[in-house]
Amino acid sequence: MGLDMDHTLIRYNVQEFEKLSHNVIKEKLVKNRNYPAVVLDLPFCYDLAIRGLVIDRQKGNTLKLNRHSAIRASNHGLKSIDFKTQQKIYKSTYIDLSDKQYMAVDTAFSISLATLFSQIVEIKENQPDLKFPDFATIADDVLNALDEGHRDGSLKETVKKDLKRFIIKEPDMVAGLEKFKKHGKKIFIVTNSDFHYTKLLLDYAITPFLKDHKSWLDLFEIIVTSAQKPRFFHDDLKYLKVNPADGTMTNVNEKLVPGVYQGGSAQVFTRDLGLEGDEILYIGDHIYGDILRLKKDCGWRTAMVIEELADEVKSNQIAEPTNQEIEILMKKKEPLEDDFTEIMTKKSDGFIDNLDAKLEALQRQITEIDLLISNLIKKQQALYNEHWGQLMRAGNEESYFAYQVDRYACVYTAKLGDLLELSPRTYFRAPRRPLAHEV
């Protein structure tokens, strides 16, 4: 069983971390890229974006797509675009995500990115006297500033200094890991974080809660640091052995043995451990970095951690009675619509005259029901993100994010601890999925 570290094995206080990213990006934009200082005053608001949104670099819009890549909601800056305008802007509402015009925001990491992009577009539109580059450059600048923040240590250095603020301790999850190990599972880590950061986090959030082991070094079979995922999954990078006492490194010329490494590849890992790809379950939180290439190239089984799922499941439960009310009203509306269609057809065929009064009455009833339904939908939507609604759904369809999770992750869960509460022998069976003609 393999684990990603950041946001999978180690949970972050996501709101604090995103606020920090938001600040780091703002500072870099103003300091290194000459953005107007007003950017520094933009407040961080976690609810302005959700995972899975797509940025239209050319038009400065933020989009939510369904499983067919059709736009189901859109914003320009902080304002929502109404359906008619949206149709006018995007003649074909299907988005080709391989087109460079679009940028997917698909990790919990990037809420700050989407938020800040929308906020800057908003000031650019409202204050034309301030000097901002075009939308595409803003999108690239925000992304590059965030990447820089990850690379140059501005984010991690701050986390290191205040672990209490950013890192969540989970004793039950650690107990779950020990339970899985006791049942013969070999647990390993593959993280893009470097050895020193990895050690710091594991020393803080794992070792103090161990009962059957002295330190995380005894719990985990192999720890791969600075792994360069997703390259780790499809490239042939060399492993270096890390001495956990001081972080010094040596070349690896023999088979992998338990210990700490840097770099490397999934291919060598699978071969040296004498395993078949599908005997390994890898758990991560990043659809591109952790899941997609792994599934495509290595045949490892995959589990995805989607932290937002916990709230979404709670809201789904609260929404259930409202959903049922909507369903009942829809059932009531369908025969009225059928009657309406039938009379309209007869009327246009010229068979019967004087049907207008009947049509009017039907239309009135349909409009009344529509109003009730639209109020119920508003009530239901208020349970989710106020700007973007549900994470996993876009209207009646799955969201594009849910579609990708469903396609590439064998299982998914809100957090690692939930998975570890199960028996290590658990077998997951997919539910039968009805096709349109079977409903």
Site residues (CB under 5 A) for Mg ion? 4, 6-7, 285
Q: Is 100 helix (H, G, I), strand (E, B) or coil?
A: coil
What are the residues facing 12 on neighbouring strands?
Answer: 167
Q: How far is the CB of 7 from Mg ion (least distance, A)?
A: 4
Q: How far is the CB of 332 from Mg ion (least distance, A)?
A: 47
Q: How far is the CB of 60 from Mg ion (least distance, A)?
A: 29
Q: How far is the CB of 286 from Mg ion (least distance, A)?
A: 5
Looking at 167-308, list the stretches that DSSP marks H as alpha helix, in order from N- to C-terminal side: 171-182, 195-205, 216-219, 231-234, 266-272, 293
CA angle 276, 282, 284 (to 5 degrees): 160
* Helix axis angle, 154-161 to 195-205, nearest 10°: 30
> Which residue's CB is nearer to Mg ion, number 287 or number 394?
287
Residue that is written with structure tokens 């994470």 in the block: 391
Residue that is written with structure tokens 């309406």 in the block: 340
Nearest Cα neighbor of 276 from 255, 298, 254, 302 is 298
Torsion of CA 385, 389, 390, 391, to 10 degrees: -70
Q: What Å distances lie between residue 360 and 252, 326, 339, 354, 372, CA to CA?
A: 81, 23, 12, 11, 19
Q: How far is the CB of 9 from Mg ion (least distance, A)?
A: 9
> Which residue's CB is nearer to Mg ion, number 106 or number 285?
285
- Rounded distance, CA 58 to CA 101, Å? 6
- Rounded distance, CA 109 to CA 97, Å? 20
> Which residue's CB is nearer to Mg ion, number 66 or number 192?
192
- Rounded distance, CA 283 to CA 187, Å? 11
> Which residue's CB is nearer to Mg ion, number 222 or number 252?
222
Report yes or no: 242 and 225 within 8 Å, Cβ to Cβ. Answer: yes
Q: How far is the CB of 333 from Mg ion (least distance, A)?
A: 45
> Which residue's CB is nearer to Mg ion, number 86 or number 404?
404
Q: How far is the CB of 290 from Mg ion (least distance, A)?
A: 6
> Which residue's CB is nearer to Mg ion, number 174 or number 305?
305
**Paired tokens of 55:** 């940025």
- 63 sits in the region (left: phi over 0; alpha: psi -120 to 50; else beta) called beta
> Which residue's CB is nearer to Mg ion, number 73 or number 155?
155
Report yes or no: 165 and 405 within 8 Å, Cβ to Cβ. Answer: no
- Rounded distance, CA 400 to CA 95, Å? 11
> Which residue's CB is nearer to Mg ion, number 132 or number 188?
188
- Rounded distance, CA 399 to CA 413, Å? 17
Provide the 8-state DSSP code for 69: S
Q: How far is the CB of 303 from Mg ion (least distance, A)?
A: 13
Q: How far is the CB of 107 from Mg ion (least distance, A)?
A: 8
Q: How far is the CB of 109 from Mg ion (least distance, A)?
A: 8
> Which residue's CB is nearer to Mg ion, number 4 or number 141?
4
> Which residue's CB is nearer to Mg ion, number 283 or number 376?
283
